[in-house]
Structure 1
Amino acid sequence: MSSPEHPSSSHHSLAFRVMRLCRPSFQVEDAILRLDPFDLFAGEDLFDDPSVSPHLLDRATTAPSREGGGAGGGEFSYRGRFQLQDPIDAMALPGFLMLPQSFGAIYLGETFCSYISVNNRSNFEARDVVIKAEIQTERQKIVLLDTSKSPVESIRSGGRYDFIVEHDVKELGPHTLVCTALYNDGDSERKYLPQFFKFVVANPLSVRTKVRSVKQRQQESQSDCVNDRPCDLTRSLMDSELTKSFLCILFNHVLLCNFPHSPTLFFQEKTFLEACIENHTKSNLYMDQVEFEPAQCWTATVLKADIHSSEVNSRVREIFKQPLLIQSGGGIHNFLYLLKQNADESGQVMVDGSNVLGKLQITWRTNLGESGRLQTQQILGSATAQKEIDIQLLDIPSMIILETPFSVCLRLRNRTERRMGPFEVHVSEDDSTEEKVVMVNGLKKQNLQQLDAHSFADFEVNMIAVRLGVHKISGITLLDVQTNNLLDTLPDLEVFVSSQ
């Protein structure tokens, strides 16, 4: 039962009684003396009552000796109650279920269900009773019950009118259940009774997300595989904020899918989303579903650890799935998703300067099956500015031989609604004093013609490497010929130069 807040109601005939309807909980005995079934029928003053039959007294005095409680026969004593009569007694669960004695902890995403009773405690009949129940929060007011169009005809003396209300909790913070009654009392006086029942809604779990974008070298025929030179990807992942527990999954998915060397490769950017869910409640949460709903231009795939060979194609495993449990009081579980942009989307969807990736749908159940559901806000990727003109790496040889010319294929794309150009592409020198190892083989500048709206043009830059090892291709920039403004710069690319 809750403790209502209301003005003095001594002059009112009616009164509200509210009880929260939820699943009962197991009653755990903390006391040393456990409950004996005989205690339900007899109290501690059993022997002082002259009306008690001798047969009942004999039953009370012989029960401890029969159960091996430690007391001698014919002696009624509690001294053996602390001893275990059965191994299951060590759980301290007597088998009773306990209904909530107050509103208790109410969490976001649950369904608040309450049993409300309007009692007539006067000696007169209450007539034309208009009952109203509503939930008030800091933002809104939600009507749960309103009988103004069909009032309760009468509530007799000592009688009551009962009803049940439900509300899906979607806001955090203080809530107030307001119950009001407008009625005619015995003197035919119209009276108004308000009562208030307050409770606070807490957050059952927290969701922390991390987003990381990784560029991969791929074949056109195998878009999910990468080249066997993981220099860029390895370094990018080690610098990321993804937890170590997911690095193995990432490398299994990204690095172990190799294919033979091919002269035709392209670069594709993949996005990894890690979601960490932490349980803030006092009970275990059994996750029914943790699903990522991607935005319109994205597709999502959940990444999991390798499954044991005995569990593959196991029909029993499909029927009896192991529940995903997040323990109470700070238990956590991590989920990892691979996000890809759809093939028909050439650009990125931007919202307030950030990429909208999608949102998480989370449903769970507590120990006795009560369900809850939450939906996160839109998860945003890294903020990137949309460029009008950009230059992209399209193709590079998988093997670069020392002092042998090779071509880097680039793509110039116009993302605007108008015609742009002409352009100039050149390779600038680094400001550092180090000697450049990978350099242009030929002219350092190229002139490109104008581009129509939403069109692109492919071109090549001839280069040569003069030293073995891992080196960078850098300094490829794009300029506007008319204004001489810098439009874009190709990010540095690491390549491996071999002797053969």
Structure 2
Amino acid sequence: MARPRAASGADVPKEPHAVSLKVLRLSRPSLSYQSPLPAATTKISPKASLSYPSADSDDQFILTPILTLPPAFGSVYVGETFACTLSANNEISADETGRVVTSVRIVAEMQTPSSVAALELDPASDTAQSGLDIGESLQKIVRYDLKEEGNHILAVSVSYTENRISESAQAASGRVRTFRKLYQFVAQPCLSVRTKASELPPLEVDNKSLGPYGKTRLLRFALEAQLENVGDGAVVIKQTRLNPKAPFKCQSLNSDATTSDPFAAAALPTLNPRDVLQVAFLIEQEEGRTEGLEALQKDLRHDGRATLGQLSIEWRGAMGDKGFLTTGNLMSRKRS
């Protein structure tokens, strides 16, 4: 007679957790638009098409006095700070008085295309030792500066202790339970940066260490960069700066070079989607500077190219979202 197959662990129905996890992305609201009716003699009230009719609002203005929360997760861009709130909720029903949840702990990490980073939680205290009453929640906020394109995975682990309370109001038994959830999103570029470096005629200066008529040739380059807005919304370019590598120095050839305040409102260009901004810099070898000179000469002999520096770009979104991007080392063209 055949014996019945023993029940395996996979066949046993899993008991639902007493704690649930909710993840909500933190982002700024957007402006709310409306479509006013044309001013004409009609029986329809001009306020009929307004999103928020009021006595103080302008019936013919396209913007409403209210803000709109994002209806979905939305786009995530490289250079911005990704922020979300993690909420561990006690899901025990009110009629289950014999179960208590204590020692709730949340741990989060971000998996990027190249690394895994543990995330700091705000506030920093990581457990709810006294426990969560029915309907209560433990909330944490995590932030992460996005520096890479591609798939990102937010991994959140929740652990807690579930205690059984006897009729004498004492803990009869307890067990530690844990679960883990993964949330995947794609980080897209907000700005596309294209650069071109052109070598200029060198500047000859006197160098007495080479004799009474000695001359030293100082290298000079012109760097052009095109910044294209490849995102979905308008951005304001707050600052574009070139960080030269020794022994070079840099001079901006852009409009911010004519004002003492680079953050002046009149000097900040706005890029709508697919708009392009072109910037330029003059890069010159600094006279008498020996720092980095040996590495520059070695690169020119080995590869025929010079490392000029890195381009740093800072921008703001339509609602003030901060963005920051730093390119890799920019190289000159290879000498023929």
Measured against aligned partners, the alpha-carbon deviations of 1:387-446 in whole angstroms (never above 9, x if no partner) come to xxxxxxxxxxxxxxxxxxxxxxxxxxxxxxxxxxxxxxxxxxxxxxxxxxxxxxxxxxxx
Does 1:215 find its partner at 2:201? Answer: yes
Larger radius of gyration: 1
After superposition, the Cα gap between the structure-2 partners of 1:358 and 1:349, relative to the gap in structure 1 and judged at 3 Å, is farther
Q: Report the Cα distance in structure 1 between the residues aligned to 2:323 and 2:145, rounded to whole angstroms.
A: 9
Partner amino acid, structure 1, of 2:92: S
After superposition, the Cα gap between the structure-2 partners of 1:155 and 1:18, relative to the gap in structure 1 and judged at 3 Å, is same
Deviation (angstroms), 1:81: 1.9
Q: Report the Cα distance in structure 1 between the residues aligned to 2:256 and 2:153, rounded to whole angstroms.
A: 49
Q: Report the Cα distance in structure 2 between the residues aligned to 1:288 and 1:359, rounded to whole angstroms.
A: 17
Partner of residue 24 from structure 1, selected from 21, 29, 32: 29
Q: Report the Cα distance in structure 2 between the residues aligned to 1:318 and 1:305, rounded to whole angstroms.
A: 9
Does 1:190 find its partner at 2:190? Answer: no
Question: What secondary structure does 2:134 align onto?
Answer: coil
Deviation (angstroms), 1:319: 8.6
Q: Report the Cα distance in structure 2 between the residues aligned to 1:104 and 1:205, rounded to whole angstroms.
A: 17
Does 1:365 find its partner at 2:335? Answer: no
Counterpart contact for 2:57–2:65, Cα < 8 Å = no
Matches within 5 A, 1:10-409: 11-29=16-34, 70-71=42-43, 81-82=48-49, 88-123=58-93, 124-145=99-120, 151-153=127-129, 154-187=131-164, 188-215=174-201, 269-304=219-254, 320-344=264-288, 348-351=296-299, 353=303, 354-384=305-335
Matches within 5 A, 1:444-455: none
Deviation (angstroms), 1:29: 3.6
Question: What secondary structure does 2:72 align onto?
Answer: coil
Counterpart contact for 1:291–1:361, Cα < 8 Å = yes
Counterpart contact for 2:238–2:263, Cα < 8 Å = no
Deviation (angstroms), 1:93: 2.2
Which consecutive unaligned segments of at least 5 residues does structure 2 have?
1-12, 94-98, 165-173, 207-214
Deviation (angstroms), 1:268: 5.9
Deviation (angstroms), 1:270: 2.4
Measured against aligned partners, the alpha-carbon deviations of 1:78-133 in whole angstroms (never above 9, x if no partner) come to 89724999994444322211222333111111111111211111134311222212
Aligned length: 291
Counterpart contact for 1:21–1:115, Cα < 8 Å = yes
After superposition, the Cα gap between the structure-2 partners of 1:319 and 1:13, relative to the gap in structure 1 and judged at 3 Å, is closer
Question: What secondary structure does 2:185 align onto?
Answer: strand
Q: Report the Cα distance in structure 1 between the residues aligned to 2:14 and 2:267, rounded to whole angstroms.
A: 50
Counterpart contact for 2:111–2:117, Cα < 8 Å = yes
Measured against aligned partners, the alpha-carbon deviations of 1:449-498 in whole angstroms (never above 9, x if no partner) come to xxxxxxxxxxxxxxxxxxxxxxxxxxxxxxxxxxxxxxxxxxxxxxxxxx
Partner amino acid, structure 2, of 1:104: G
Partner amino acid, structure 1, of 2:128: V
Deviation (angstroms), 1:378: 0.1
Counterpart contact for 1:180–1:194, Cα < 8 Å = yes
TM-score normalised by structure 2 residue count? 0.73
TM-score normalised by structure 1 residue count? 0.51
Q: Report the Cα distance in structure 2 between the residues aligned to 1:9 and 1:16, rounded to whole angstroms.
A: 17
Aligned residues: percent identity?
25
Q: Report the Cα distance in structure 1 between the residues aligned to 2:218 and 2:113, rounded to whole angstroms.
A: 47
Q: Report the Cα distance in structure 2 between the residues aligned to 1:178 and 1:219, rounded to whole angstroms.
A: 59
Question: What secondary structure does 1:155 align onto?
Answer: coil
Which consecutive unaligned segments of at least 5 residues does structure 1 have?
1-7, 34-67, 72-76, 221-264, 386-500
Q: Specify the alignment match of 1:431 in structure 2.
A: none
Deviation (angstroms), 1:151: 3.1
Deviation (angstroms), 1:145: 4.4
After superposition, the Cα gap between the structure-2 partners of 1:90 and 1:360, relative to the gap in structure 1 and judged at 3 Å, is same
Deviation (angstroms), 1:175: 1.1
Question: What secondary structure does 1:277 align onto?
Answer: strand
Q: Report the Cα distance in structure 1 between the residues aligned to 2:118 and 2:262, rounded to whole angstroms.
A: 44
Q: Report the Cα distance in structure 2 between the residues aligned to 1:171 and 1:331, rounded to whole angstroms.
A: 23
Deviation (angstroms), 1:370: 1.4
Higher mean alpha-carbon deviation, 78-87 vs 166-175, is at 78-87
Ranked by relative contact order (alpha carbons within 8 Å, sequence separation 6 or more), the top structure is 2
Partner amino acid, structure 2, of 1:106: V
Counterpart contact for 1:172–1:201, Cα < 8 Å = yes
Measured against aligned partners, the alpha-carbon deviations of 1:258-287 in whole angstroms (never above 9, x if no partner) come to xxxxxxx99765211111111111122112
Q: Report the Cα distance in structure 2 between the residues aligned to 1:29 and 1:340, rounded to whole angstroms.
A: 53
After superposition, the Cα gap between the structure-2 partners of 1:323 and 1:286, relative to the gap in structure 1 and judged at 3 Å, is farther
Counterpart contact for 2:46–2:59, Cα < 8 Å = no
Q: Report the Cα distance in structure 1 between the residues aligned to 2:256 and 2:240, rounded to whole angstroms.
A: 19
Counterpart contact for 2:255–2:267, Cα < 8 Å = no
